Chain A
Amino acid sequence: MSEVLAAISTSVIEGNLNDCVKLTQEALAAGMAADTILDNGLMPGMDYVGVEFKAGNMFVPEVLRSARAMQGAMDLVRPLLSATGASMTGKIILGTVKGDLHDIGKNLVAMMCEGAGFEVKDLGKNIEPDAFVKAVKEFEPNIVGMSALLTTTMRSMEHTIKALEEAGLRDKVKVMIGGAPVTQSFADQIGADGYASNAASASEMAKKFAKA
Chain B
Amino acid sequence: MRTNYRINSGVRFEMFTQDQLEELFWGALHVLEYTGLDVMHEEARQILKKAGAWVEGTRVRLPNYLVRKSLEMAPRSFTLFARDGNPENDIHIGPGRAHFGPGPTCVQFIDIETQARRPYLNSDVPLVAKVVDALPNIDFCESLGTVSDVHHDLGALYEFAGMFPNTSKPIVAWSYDKYDSAGIHEIAVAEAGGQEAFEQRPTYVHYCEPLSPLITTSESVDKLLFAATHRIPLIFTPCPLAGGTAPVTAAGIIIPAAAESWMGLTIAQAVQPGLPFIMGGVLSVMDMSAMILAYGAPELSLMMAGITELAHYVGLPLWQTGGCTDSKTFDAQAMIEGSLSCYFSAMTGGDLTHDVGYTESAMTGSVFQLAAMDEAIGYTRRITRGIEVNEDTLAVDVIHNVGPNGHYLKEKHTRRYFRSEFWYPNLHDRRNFEEWEMMGRTTLKDRTIARVHDILVTHNPSSIKPETEQVIRKVLAEAEARVRA
Chain A contacts to B: CB under 8 angstroms: 53, 56, 59-61, 99, 101-102, 104-105, 108, 151-152, 154-155, 158, 180-181, 183, 185-186, 198-199
Contact = CB atoms under 8 A, between A and B. Distances in A.
A199 B291 contact: yes
B106 A180 contact: no
Nearest to B106: A151
14 contacts: A59-B289, A60-B286, A60-B288, A60-B289, A60-B291, A99-B219, A101-B211, A102-B211, A104-B245, A108-B291, A151-B106, A152-B176, A155-B152, A181-B107
Contacts of A185: 119
B290 A198 contact: yes
Given A151-B105, A155-B152, A181 B363 contact: yes
A186 B120 CA distance: 12
A76 B119 CA distance: 48
B292 A180 contact: yes
Contacts of B215: 101
Contact of A105 (B217, B288, B291): B291
A50 to B, nearest CB: 13
Contacts of B108: 183
Interface in B353-369: 361, 363
Contacts, number: 47
Interface in B145-201: 146, 152, 176
For A105, A152, A181, A199, the residue with the greatest tally of chain B CB atoms inside 10 Å of its CB is A152
For A60, A99, A104, A151, the residue with the greatest tally of chain B CB atoms inside 10 Å of its CB is A151
Given A61-B243, A180-B292, A198-B290, A101 B217 contact: yes
Interface residues of B, number: 24
Given A101-B211, A151-B105, A186-B107, A180 B363 contact: yes
Contacts of B292: 180
A53 B107 contact: no
Nearest to A108: B291
B177 to A, nearest CB: 10
Which 9 interchain pairs have the tightest Cβ spacing? A59-B288, A155-B152, A60-B288, A151-B105, A181-B107, A151-B107, A56-B289, A151-B146, A101-B211
B96 interface: no
B37 interface: no
Contacts of B243: 60-61
A180 B289 CA distance: 13
B464 to A, nearest CB: 27
Contacts of B119: 185
Interface in B251-295: 286, 288-293
B27 interface: no
Given A56-B289, A102-B211, 14 more contacts: A53-B289, A60-B289, A99-B219, A104-B244, A104-B245, A104-B286, A108-B291, A154-B107, A158-B152, A180-B292, A181-B363, A185-B119, A186-B107, A198-B291
Nearest to A189: B119
B291 A183 contact: no
Nearest to A179: B291
Interface string B205-230: 00000010001010100000000000
Nearest to A150: B105
Contacts of B290: 198
Nearest to A53: B289
A110 to B, nearest CB: 14
A186 B117 CA distance: 13
A186 B148 CA distance: 11
Nearest to A198: B291
B484 to A, nearest CB: 16
A180 B363 CA distance: 8
Contacts of A181: 107, 363
B263 to A, nearest CB: 16
A175 B231 CA distance: 45
